[in-house]
Amino acid sequence: MNPEPSPWRLKEFIEHIDIWIGLEKPDVDLRIHVLAWAMRRDENPYQGARRESGFPNLWFAPVPQSNRNGQIVICITKSSSRCVRCAARGSAR
């Protein structure tokens, strides 16, 4: 039995996670947690996300359990035609 194909395609998540790692130098556990969370966005990209006011397809989704030592990782996604694109990455200290 073949699993159902994902209804969403992820774009530029790995590239932005790599940029975030280079800038923020998070510990290995946090890297793995964020990467695992991001790779599940193809299942339901809007889970835990909220729409940014004034933008029809800009969503902010905090990565659960990413608040470590004052650091909160946020992934920003924009969707169109069943494609989810990582537009930026960020942290708050």
- What pLDDT tens digit does each residue of the chain (93 aa) get? 556 777 788 888 888 888 888 988 988 998 998 889 888 888 888 888 888 888 877 888 888 888 776 667 677 777 667 888 776 545 444
Q: Of 54, 78, 49, which Cα lies nearest the Cα of 64?
A: 49
Structure tokens at 88: 């930026």
- What pLDDT was estimated at residue 10? 85
> Domain limits of the chain?
9-92
Domain 9-92 belongs in CATH node 3.40.50.10420: no
Separation in Å, CA 61 to CA 1, 2, 45, 93: 33, 30, 9, 17
